[in-house]
């Protein structure tokens, strides 16, 4: 067995091969003990085998331990062949084996404890990294599309998922901003552009303070959308794509019906045009996708660009 341990060091046998050879060699060594010694040596033989099992199960796979075990078994055999084995000698070696077993057990327990501690540390570091990422990645996600396309619905879904995972989120809804921040503005092209400019300014202030800003606004004109994009370093455009026919069928607020009857002027899609985004980061086809599917596209883009961590995936 000592020879096998040395061969392992020199020839780089793997642990499985070494264990098989060690077992064979151990059988050969025990075979040379006279039959009348078997009863006396039985207890020591069992202990030696138990020690070999302990070494094999050791998390470190320590070759020095296997070499020590080989030396010990060889020492027992040589002692018997030269001087015989007395009950006193056997008792001494049994106590030595028990001490060795306890030592190995304590080492394995210590290694297991350290392994648990390292795993706990790893989880703590991962949680800290996620916390830092949540606190240092402001971005503006701009949902644009016709009235009734599904901007607010998707926006609310994304907001809920982000808040569940501890992100700082603010929603700027076009209608709410117009009522509270832009009351004096009408619906001409110039007023619409000024409305979008103001929303963009507020979004920029929030995003630079590490907030994920979700903007839901028709924002029909490509030129002002591009101006806002240029003014905000971290910007994701989401085109919520639903045809005019689909939006009119939905018409939750009854606005299309009023626009068709002339009660509302300058209504986007009826009187005024909507200019489709040319290169949006995300396109949600809400007449073909569920709300969850559309929201997942937005969350996946946020992950891809590094604004949120990969754990936000339990939609």
Is 60 exceeded by the pLDDT of residue 60? no
Question: d(Cα 174, Cα 149) in Å, to the nearest integer?
Answer: 14
Which of the listed ranges 99-103, 151-155, 183-187, 261-265 does the model predict with the highest average pLDDT?
Answer: 151-155
Q: Which of residues 70 and 163 earns the better pLDDT score?
A: 163
Is 80 exceeded by the pLDDT of residue 18? no
Which of the listed ranges 91-95, 223-227, 251-255 does the model predict with the highest average pLDDT?
Answer: 223-227
Mean pLDDT for the stretch of residues 28-49: 50
Is 50 exceeded by the pLDDT of residue 61? no
Is 60 exceeded by the pLDDT of residue 14? no
Tens of pLDDT along 278-312?
A: 999 999 999 999 999 999 999 999 999 888 876 55
Tens of pLDDT along 168-216?
A: 999 999 888 887 877 778 888 898 999 999 999 999 999 999 899 999 9
How much of the chain exceeds pLDDT 70, in percent?
63
What is the torsional sign of CA 78, 79, 81, 87? negative
pLDDT band for position 85 (cuts 50, 70, 90):
low
Is 80 exceeded by the pLDDT of residue 15? no
Is 80 exceeded by the pLDDT of residue 33? no
Please tell me the predicted confidence (pLDDT) of residue 131.
Answer: 60
Closest CA to 235 of 303, 162, 142: 142
Please tell me the predicted confidence (pLDDT) of residue 115.
Answer: 79
Q: Which of residues 64 and 166 earns the better pLDDT score?
A: 166
HEC readout, 175-212: HHHHHHCCCCCCCCHHHHHHHHHHHHHHHHHHHCCCCE
Please tell me the predicted confidence (pLDDT) of residue 109.
Answer: 79
Catalytic residue among 48, 147, 216, 219: 219
Tens of pLDDT along 235-253?
A: 999 999 999 999 999 988 8
Is 60 exceeded by the pLDDT of residue 2? no
* 219: annotated active-site residue: yes
For the domain 136-304, what is the CATH superfamily, name and number? P-loop containing nucleotide triphosphate hydrolases (3.40.50.300)
Say if residue 243 is exposed, middle or buried (CB neighbours under 10 Å; 0-12, 13-18, 19+). Answer: middle
| Domain layout of the chain by residue ranges | 2-126, 136-304
Question: d(Cα 201, Cα 232) in Å, to the nearest integer?
Answer: 8
How much of the chain exceeds pLDDT 90, in percent?
42
Question: d(Cα 314, Cα 262) in Å, to the nearest integer?
Answer: 45
């Amino acid at each position: 067995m000592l020879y096998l341990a040395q061969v392992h060091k020199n020839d780089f046998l793997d642990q499985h091969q070494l264990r098989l050879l060690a077992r064979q060699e151990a059988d050969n060594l025990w075979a040379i003990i006279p039959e009348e010694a078997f009863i006396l040596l039985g207890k020591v033989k069992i202990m030696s085998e138990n020690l070999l099992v302990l070494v094999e199960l050791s998390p470190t796979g320590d070759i020095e331990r296997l070499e020590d075990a080989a030396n010990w078994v060889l020492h027992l055999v040589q002692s018997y062949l030269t001087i015989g084995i007395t009950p006193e000698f056997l008792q001494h070696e049994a106590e030595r084996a028990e001490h060795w077993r306890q030592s190995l057990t304590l080492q394995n327990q210590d290694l297991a404890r350290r392994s648990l501690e390292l795993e706990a540390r790893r989880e703590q570091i991962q949680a800290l990294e996620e916390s830092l990422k949540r606190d240092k990645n402001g971005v503006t996600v701009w949902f644009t599309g016709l009235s009734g396309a599904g901007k607010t619905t998707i926006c609310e879904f994304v907001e809920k998922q982000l808040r569940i995972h501890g992100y700082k989120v603010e929603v700027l809804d076009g209608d709410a901003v117009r009522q509270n921040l832009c009351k004096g503005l009408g619906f001409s092209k110039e007023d619409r552009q000024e409305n979008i400019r103001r929303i963009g300014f507020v979004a920029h202030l929030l995003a630079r303070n590490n907030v994920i800003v979700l903007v839901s606004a028709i924002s029909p004109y490509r030129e002002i959308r591009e101006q806002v994009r240029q003014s905000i370093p971290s910007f994701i455009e989401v085109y919520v794509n639903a045809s005019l026919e689909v939006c009119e069928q939905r018409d939750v607020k009854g606005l299309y019906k009023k626009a068709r009857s002339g009660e509302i002027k300058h209504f986007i899609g009826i009187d005024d045009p909507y200019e489709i985004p040319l290169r949006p980061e995300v396109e949600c086809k809400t007449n073909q996708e569920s709300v969850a599917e559309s929201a997942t596209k937005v969350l996946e883009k946020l992950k891809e660009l590094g604004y949120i961590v990969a754990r936000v995936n339990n939609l």
